[in-house]
Homo-oligomer: A and B are copies of this chain.
């Protein structure tokens, strides 16, 4: 086809998918490009704006590294991540809800034993966590993998501190004991801004949005026979609970962080400073149930 105009370009593209072997890929590419073209026509995109978009996407890709995923951050801040979670993570009643994965998970979280201090020197008020992983029927799930990561009292993840190199702190990979529990010491999470030193930060600034997330700890929990759970536990009373920059807050995920004066911690440690305690249950859905809300027939 020659002499394509603003109207014929879309059917011309769709014709090119005639030999696409995967019907699912064809469906995705058709919908994606129809919406992309509709967007450009709707706003009557100028060439300067097109180029700004190209430069923005390029800079976003180039900001990505092993410890920084700027495209996930973009997806998070545009609401696409939470939308994808909502489309896929409908849970049976009683199961713990999911929320966004975020850009700061790493694959090399240090393993930790029961009772370990996973803060490993990260600054913040001490926090003692007991998390129980259970089935919908209430049965403890032993040997579940519990991946934990969080920001410190300065609002920074370890990977955001160049001075740490590849050292990891305020994150760990644990496994539940025979009672389905993990117990660890860490620090209380605080609200923090998502990184604003990249293209996503520029987008937030240009569109008049704040970059803050309410305080939370990330959990990713996996156990054989159960649907993987990617979620957070939020802190009640946080001023950003209703304006989380990544739209991730669910009422059911607000934890019961209890503050204590100096004294004896749950693990017997004599604390000379105030500390917090969190007891949190996670209920995993069976593997099959989590697939129910997937694609309509």
Contacts and interface: CB of A to CB of B under 8 A. Distances in A.
Interface string A65-93: 00001011001001111111111110000
Contact of A29 (B33, B42, B82, B207): B207
Interface stretch (A171-179, A243-251, A260-268): A243-251
A81 B45 CA distance: 10
Interface stretch (A12-20, A120-128, A188-196, A273-281): A12-20
Contacts of A26: 207
Interface stretch (A50-58, A158-166, A216-224): A50-58
Interface stretch (A2-10, A107-115, A130-138): A2-10
A259 interface: no
A62 interface: yes
A143 to B, nearest CB: 24
Interface in A30-53: 31-33, 35-47, 49-50
Contact of A50 (B3, B32, B60, B81): B81
A165 B33 CA distance: 36
A271 B141 CA distance: 83
A58 B79 contact: no
A25 interface: yes
A79 B17 CA distance: 13
Contacts of A43: 27-28, 31-32
Given A20-B207, A62-B64, A80 B249 contact: no
Contact of A87 (B44, B243, B249): B44
Nearest to A39: B35
A98 to B, nearest CB: 9
A61 interface: yes
B208 A87 contact: no
B247 A208 contact: no
A21 interface: yes
Interface string A202-213: 000011110000
B61 A57 contact: yes
Contacts of A49: 28
A86 B5 contact: yes
20 contacts: A1-B243, A2-B242, A2-B250, A6-B83, A6-B86, A6-B87, A13-B79, A17-B207, A17-B209, A20-B206, A26-B207, A28-B49, A29-B207, A36-B80, A45-B84, A45-B87, A57-B57, A57-B61, A60-B61, A61-B62
